[in-house]
Amino acid sequence: MTPTAFYHLDDADELNSIRGTDDTFSSLPFIKSNNSNKSQLEGAISGTRFERSRSYLNLLHGIDWLIGPEAEIDILNLSLGLKSRDFNEHEPLQIATRYAYQSNKVVVTAAGNDGPCENTLQSLARARWVISVGATDCDRNLLDLSSRGVANKMSPTLVTNGVPNPEDYQHPNMPETARKFGPSTSLACARMSRIAAFTMSMMRFLFACMAEVQQAHVLGIFAPPIRFVVIGFADTGIFPGYQDLWNPTVRSFMANGNTSYQVSCDHNTIKSLYDIFSFLLEEKLAIELSTSPEAVRTFLNVMAIPLENRKCHEVGSGYLDLDVAIDFWTNITPVKLLKILLPRKHHGKLVYHFQDSGPIFRDSFVIYLSDMASRGPTHGDCAMMGYLRH
């Protein structure tokens, strides 16, 4: 299956215009291919070295490559913004992000660091097809710098922690420029990309199980457990030393040249999914098992926790971090799942039908899978980019 991959595009200095001048930004990551020291983007952008400053045009070339078939990415983490806050759907970067969305890529953007006033969302964060991310502190308090939308008109999609972890910047190969970053929506954006990748991974595993069980249901077969290759490992970061951030189990797999391992659905998971399809068949209902950008956005919004004393145009659907996501997937039940996948008019029947149903997944599986996801990037300049291969 397609990997859930991370590539991070970020600017150190704001892009000043869209007029084709030599405006530059300096912290696009050097992306190494699996078997080469050459950046995969170097081939797409001739005559330049990718770790140096880029022009606006090269940024567009980079996005064009990232959403093509060679890159095989699912999440585009775009922590940059144009100087103007005015939304212009014909602006080249807006066209690029919309094309990524239409190509089934989840585009995550920083809300901007121009708060606390209203109507300060940076222009890329105003596009309806992106997931825009505001920033809080470690205690879930909205940062003053986090850009806001306009009441009843626009808002960031959600918010998460935008404060850097000190340990992220202690690696000896870390560029000095990366050590100077303070709290920002760029950091929040990268963390949300990680959560989106974890969520997409869980959705894919769950939907693969459901497809298998649906087929078994039609055939009258019930024979758990079903086994899937659900996760793989690859280190595509700038600095090879960052491999030490992977936990010992992952490092041992990588050292042996392995790229995947298997886990099995337990009996309870299979039974829960079997019951779901019994209900759908009985009620003559159908559900779409999709990991489209809109489907991922829906799950993220459902998982988010409302923030007290904050309005929608400030925080969107609320606060979401990896711990909250883990808790959601650890405790998801058939009722919770079907309330996401089915129209509201069918929700009344769910509680009665599944009144004794517990969580679909066992805790150890979800926590272990999330541990893999937690090795995703916290910021582009941290240079740690991993992907989950299904």
The string of pLDDT tens digits covering residues 46-99 is 333 333 344 566 677 777 777 777 666 788 888 776 667 888 888 888 888 898
- Alpha carbons 58 and 68: distance in angstroms, whole number: 15
- Alpha carbons 370 and 328: distance in angstroms, whole number: 12
Of 213 and 376, the one with more pLDDT: 213
State residue 375's pLDDT score.
Answer: 47
pLDDT tops 80 at residue 36: no
Bridge partner residues of 161 (DSSP) = 136
Highest mean pLDDT among 138-147, 212-221, 265-274 belongs to 138-147
State residue 302's pLDDT score.
Answer: 96
Highest mean pLDDT among 47-56, 261-270, 292-301 belongs to 292-301
The overall longest dimension of the chain from CA atoms, in Å, is 65
Q: Please say whether the dihedral angle defined by the alpha carbons of residues 94, 99, 109 and 25, taken in this order, is positive or negative.
A: negative
Mean per-residue pLDDT of the chain? 70
pLDDT tops 90 at residue 363: no
State residue 186's pLDDT score.
Answer: 86
Q: Counting beta carbons within 10 angstroms of the beta carbon of residue 104, is it exposed (0 to 12), middle (13 to 18) or buried (19 or more)?
A: middle
- For domain 6-195, give the CATH number: 3.40.50.200
Tokens standing for 109?
């953007």
Query: Quick one: what percent of the chain has pLDDT higher than 70?
Result: 59
pLDDT tops 70 at residue 241: no
> Cα 295 from chain centroid?
12
- Domain boundary assignment for the chain: 6-195, 200-373
Name the phi and psi angles at 159, rounded to 5.
Answer: -135, 160
From 179-193, 204-218, 226-240, 262-276, the region with the lowest mean pLDDT = 226-240
Tens of pLDDT, residues 104-163? 889 999 999 999 999 999 999 999 999 999 999 999 999 999 999 999 999 999 999 998
Of 259 and 24, the one with more pLDDT: 259
pLDDT tops 90 at residue 324: yes
Long-range contacts of 59-62 (CB under 8 A, 24+ apart): 59/9, 59/15, 59/25, 59/28, 59/93, 60/92, 60/93, 60/96, 62/9, 62/28
State residue 243's pLDDT score.
Answer: 42
Local structure of 142: helix, strand or coil: strand
- Please state whether beta strands 158-161 and 131-136 pair in parallel, antiparallel, or not at all (unpaired): parallel
Alpha-carbon dihedral 302, 304, 305, 308, rounded to 10 degrees: -110
Q: Which of 13, 7, 73 is closest to 39 using CA atoms?
A: 7
- Alpha carbons 232 and 159: distance in angstroms, whole number: 28
Of 363 and 294, the one with more pLDDT: 294
CB contact at 8 A, 390 and 230: yes
Residue 158 has a CB neighbour count (10 Å cut-off) of: 26
State residue 195's pLDDT score.
Answer: 87
Of 255 and 12, the one with more pLDDT: 255
From 45-49, 201-205, 294-298, 368-372, the region with the lowest mean pLDDT = 45-49
Average pLDDT over residues 268-294: 87
pLDDT tops 60 at residue 254: no
Residue 272 has a CB neighbour count (10 Å cut-off) of: 24
Name the phi and psi angles at 346, rounded to 5.
Answer: -100, 0
State residue 54's pLDDT score.
Answer: 46
